[in-house]
């Protein structure tokens, strides 16, 4: 019965979205102009010859970025710790056909939610200036149909939308693995468009080697609907609703679903056997209003999250504003994350040490030096364990990023 309760909401949203997409595709097909009945054999031959002559030529594009970071962490009564960190990402996209491409990307680090490597890291148990690890961060195929439907297979970037780019549900460094679909449809003279996101992503493959038994895998199933409407006076509005369902989490331990995790539940509730007490089936409601008149850009946003599988302490929210002027940007987000509102090992690892049962704010300043270089300063000021004994934690980061 528990598995049914986990899957039914996601299945309903999937069926509704699939039906709507089918209707949109059908309506597009019906609006295509009919083939002229007067087309001659010679005209057909000319078209065929021109198509053959203009065969697609495969291309590839190399890209990457390097980030140098100074970080300062003040955790409760401990002395402030200052460290320097590196992050490198390099990748390549192959446009195999006009509708088919393959992308890979390599990234420093081994954690799923971070690509940072700490200079002189004392935990590496090696001499100074060691070789740093680098691993496969992305490897996916993307197919684009003429109808506006995109299919992704492999280890891919996140394409789900969050208000103000908050990371309450998913840390942005996590690259999910599995199958995803995205469909976009434009209405009303391109003033209104809708985006539908569907995904089934592996969290953990489970098999008991000791007993030779196949067990129920853990997945993240996602369905999201977004509407973008262009308003008068250079305004635009984005409204969205999403469902994020982590399956087979209840009665599991953190290190059974997340490789880098210890037995720390990071604010989530555990039972008497030190297993997760709840599953995590989140609903997401978001709203974003943007005013753009170059070189100015102002965005006001809000997002509400609720874990419908938990009885209490099951809500999270993010509200904020961002301002942009030419090469400068500033943003402010206020966040409240209750104990079981989201799965803690997947939330933003920089805010409150990656813990739920937290509240606080994020201030970010940015300056784009030129086309390939940017400076960013971020301050995460939060309290964790707010429902018991609140602990102050503040993290600041100064980043120099070079892209190529």
Model pLDDT for residues 95-109, shown as the tens digit of each residue? 999 999 999 999 999
Q: Which of 114, 131, 170, 25 is nearest to 397 (CA)?
A: 114
Q: Which is more confidently placed, 39 or 202?
A: 202
Strands 358-370, 328-337: pairing is antiparallel
The structure tokens 């999403």 sit at 242
* pLDDT for 156: 97
Q: Across-strand partners of 333? A: 320, 362
DSSP 119: T
CATH of 2-30+56-403, one of 3.40.140.10, 3.40.1160.10, 1.10.1520.10, 2.40.160.10: 2.40.160.10
pLDDT of residue 46: 39
**Phi, psi values for residue 130, rounded to 5°:** -80, 170
pLDDT digits (tens, 9 = 90+) for 235-282: 999 999 999 999 999 998 888 877 655 668 999 999 999 999 999 999
Distances in Å between the Cα of 177 and the Cα atoms of 200, 201, 232, 320 are 8, 5, 40, 30
Distance CA 372, CA 370 (A): 6
pLDDT for residue 124 is more than 70: no
Residue 354 has pLDDT above 50, yes or no: yes
Specify the pLDDT at position 127. 66
Arithmetic mean of pLDDT, 396-404: 98
How many CA atoms are closer than 13 Å to the CA of 280, on its beta-carbon side? 31
Residue 101 CA, chain-centre distance (Å), reads 21
Out of 74-78, 99-103, 204-208, 380-384, pick the least confident: 204-208
Q: How many CB atoms lie within 10 A of CB 154?
A: 18
pLDDT at res. 80: 94
pLDDT at 37 over 50: no
| Cα–Cα distance measured from residue 88 to residue 62, given in angstroms and rounded to the nearest whole number | 14
Helices (H), 213-351: 254-257
Residue 402 predicted with pLDDT over 90 = yes
Domain boundaries, the chain: 2-30+56-403
- Between 127-131, 180-184, 318-322, the lowest mean confidence (pLDDT) is in 127-131
| Dihedral, CA of residue 258, residue 262, residue 266 and residue 270, to nearest 10 | 90
Give the pLDDT confidence score for residue 45 in this predicted structure: 39
Of 298, 193, 184, the closest CA to residue 239 belongs to 193
Residues 6+ apart with CB under 8 A from 181: 149, 150, 151, 152, 196, 197, 198, 199
Task: Indicate the Cα dihedral angle 183, 322, 283, 263, nearest 10°.
Answer: 110
Whether the Cβ atoms of residue 4 and residue 188 lie closer than 8 Å to each other: no
Minimum mean pLDDT among 40-44, 219-223, 354-358: which range?
A: 40-44
Q: Are strands 177-187 and 192-204 parallel, antiparallel or unpaired?
A: antiparallel
- pLDDT on residue 212: 74
Residue 215 has pLDDT above 80, yes or no: no
Measure the CA–CA gap between 68 and 90, rounded to whole angstroms.
Answer: 15
CB 299 within 8 A of CB 322: yes
- Rounded to whole angstroms, how far apart are CA atoms 93 and 211? 43
Answer whether 260's CB lies under 8 Å from 268's CB: no
Mean pLDDT throughout 164-174?
96
| More reliable by pLDDT, 202 or 128 | 202
Report d(CA 226, CA 122) in Å as an integer. 45
Q: Is the pLDDT of residue 51 over 50?
A: no
Mean local confidence (pLDDT), 79-93 = 96
């Amino acid at each position: 019965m528990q598995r049914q309760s986990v899957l039914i909401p996601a299945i309903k949203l999937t069926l509704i979205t699939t039906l709507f997409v089918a209707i949109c595709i059908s309506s597009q097909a019906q609006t295509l102009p009919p083939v002229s009945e007067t087309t001659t054999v010679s005209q057909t031959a000319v078209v065929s010859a021109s198509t053959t002559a203009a065969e697609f030529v495969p291309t590839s594009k190399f890209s990457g970025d390097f980030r140098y970071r100074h970080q300062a962490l003040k955790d409760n009564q401990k002395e402030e710790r200052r460290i320097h960190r590196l992050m490198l990402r390099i990748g390549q996209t192959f446009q195999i056909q006009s509708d088919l491409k393959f992308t890979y990307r390599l990234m420093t680090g081994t954690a799923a939610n971070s690509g940072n490597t700490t200079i002189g890291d004392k935990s590496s148990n090696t001499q100074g200036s060691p070789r740093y690890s680098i691993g496969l961060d992305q490897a996916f195929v993307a197919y684009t149909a003429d109808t506006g439907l995109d299919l992704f297979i492999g280890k891919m970037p996140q394409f789900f939308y969050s208000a103000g780019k908050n990371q309450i549900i998913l840390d942005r460094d996590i690259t999910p693995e599995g199958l995803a679909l995205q469909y976009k449809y434009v209405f009303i003279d391109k003033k209104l468009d809708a985006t539908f996101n569907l995904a089934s992503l592996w969290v953990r493959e489970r098999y008991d080697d000791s007993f030779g038994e196949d067990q129920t895998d853990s997945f993240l199933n996602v369905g999201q609907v977004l509407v973008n409407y262009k308003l008068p006076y250079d305004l635009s509005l984005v409204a969205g609703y999403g469902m994020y369902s982590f399956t087979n989490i209840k009665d599991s331990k953190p290190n059974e679903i997340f490789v880098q995790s210890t037995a720390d539940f990071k604010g989530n509730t555990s039972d008497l056997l030190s297993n997760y007490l709840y599953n995590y089936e989140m609903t997401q409601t978001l709203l974003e209003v943007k005013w753009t008149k170059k070189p100015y850009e102002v965005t006001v946003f809000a997002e509400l999250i609720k874990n419908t599988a938990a009885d209490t302490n099951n809500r999270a929210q993010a509200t904020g504003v961002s301002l942009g002027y030419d090469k400068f940007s500033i943003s402010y987000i206020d966040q409240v994350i209750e104990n079981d509102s989201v799965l803690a090992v997947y939330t933003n690892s920089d805010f409150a040490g990656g813990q739920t049962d937290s509240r606080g704010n994020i201030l970010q300043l940015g300056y784009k030096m030129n086309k390939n270089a940017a400076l960013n300063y971020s301050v995460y000021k939060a309290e964790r364990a707010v429902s018991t004994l609140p602990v102050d934690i503040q993290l600041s980061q100064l980043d120099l990023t070079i892209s190529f």
